[in-house]
Chain A
Amino acid sequence: EVQLVESGGGLVKPGGSLRLSCVGSGFTFSSYSFNWVRQAPGKGLEWVSSISSSSRYKYYADSVKGRFTISRDNAKNSVYLQMDSLTAEDTSIYYCARSRQEGIPVTMRWFDPWGQGTRVTVSS
């Protein structure tokens, strides 16, 4: 079964840091791109960051650029999101989602599957 499992969420104070992890199983991890998408309480989906299969291409939303860093370890079937300088506006459920890629620079295709999400709360 193809599966993504996120972890690392929690309660953190403003200005603090968290590192989210996403572990994939049931497929050839190194062949896919991965994406982080977040959803604030009662709100819609907001893309955060994407990383290509080889890590050559990394993309960030303007709202997190310079604060968040995406990375992956294909040997561990894992993708990470290092989140620094967190603010209350970063409070969300963070989803990891797999996608195929094509072209140079890469285009991410549809997101499938998505993990169950990990909750991040930034509050003093």
Chain B
Amino acid sequence: SYVLTQPPSVSVAPGQTARITCGGDSIGTYSVHWYHQRPGQAPVVVVYDDSDRPSGIPERFSGSNSGHTATLTISSVEAGDEGDYYCHIWYSRRDHPVFGGGTSLTVL
């Protein structure tokens, strides 16, 4: 089956830039979506189709996807950005979605 690999944790100081990676075999051929989950809450999409932002999501959130790595970039990190981030694709070979294991973002 297809595996998406994320670092378990990322730490960044307020105002700095956080980069969260999502690795997978030829992931660049898939559309990657990113979700933010705060403790006790449901996930919320922050980037879809590699680099598009839903309405209401700040421009500080951006995404890229090429080769074997997709990246979620959060610039000017704020305390409210803390939580878990998950990447997600639709794995067309098996007709099912795949989620990464999640990355816990800590704002120092």
Chain B interface residue count, CB cutoff 8 Å, equals 25
Docked complex Cα distance between A95 and B100 (Å): 17
By beta carbon, the residue of chain A nearest B43 is A114
- CB atoms of B92 and A107 under 8 A apart: yes
Is A59's CB under 8 angstroms from B96's CB? yes
Give the dominant DSSP class at A's interface.
strand
Q: Identify the closest chain A residue to B96 (Cβ).
A: A59
Which residues of chain A are within 8 angstroms of B45 by Cβ–Cβ distance? 110-112
B83 at the interface (CB under 8 A from A): no
Q: Which residue of chain B has its CB nearest to the CB of A62?
A: B1
Binds B, one of A22-30, A39-47, A67-75, A78-86: A39-47
Instruction: Give chain A residues whose Cβ lies under 8 Å from the Cβ of B49.
Output: 109-110
A108 at interface, CB cutoff 8 A? yes
With contacts A59-B96, A105-B95 taken as known, whether A110 is within 8 angstroms of B101 at the C-beta atoms is no
B96 CB contact (under 8 Å) in A47, A97, A111, A115: A47
A90-109: which residues lie under 8 A (CB-CB) from chain B?
A: 95, 97, 105, 107-109
Given A44-B99, A114-B44, output 8 extra A-B contacts at Cβ < 8 Å.
Answer: A35-B97, A44-B102, A59-B96, A95-B43, A110-B48, A111-B43, A114-B43, A115-B42
A-B pairs, 6 with minimum CB distance: A110-B48, A110-B33, A114-B42, A44-B102, A45-B99, A112-B45
23 intermolecular pairs with C-beta atoms under 8 Å apart: A37-B99, A44-B86, A44-B102, A45-B88, A47-B97, A47-B98, A50-B96, A59-B95, A95-B42, A95-B43, A97-B43, A105-B95, A108-B97, A109-B90, A111-B33, A112-B44, A113-B42, A113-B44, A114-B44, A115-B42, A116-B41, A116-B42, A117-B42
Binding site for B on A (CB under 8 A): 35, 37, 44-47, 50, 57, 59, 61, 95, 97, 105, 107-117
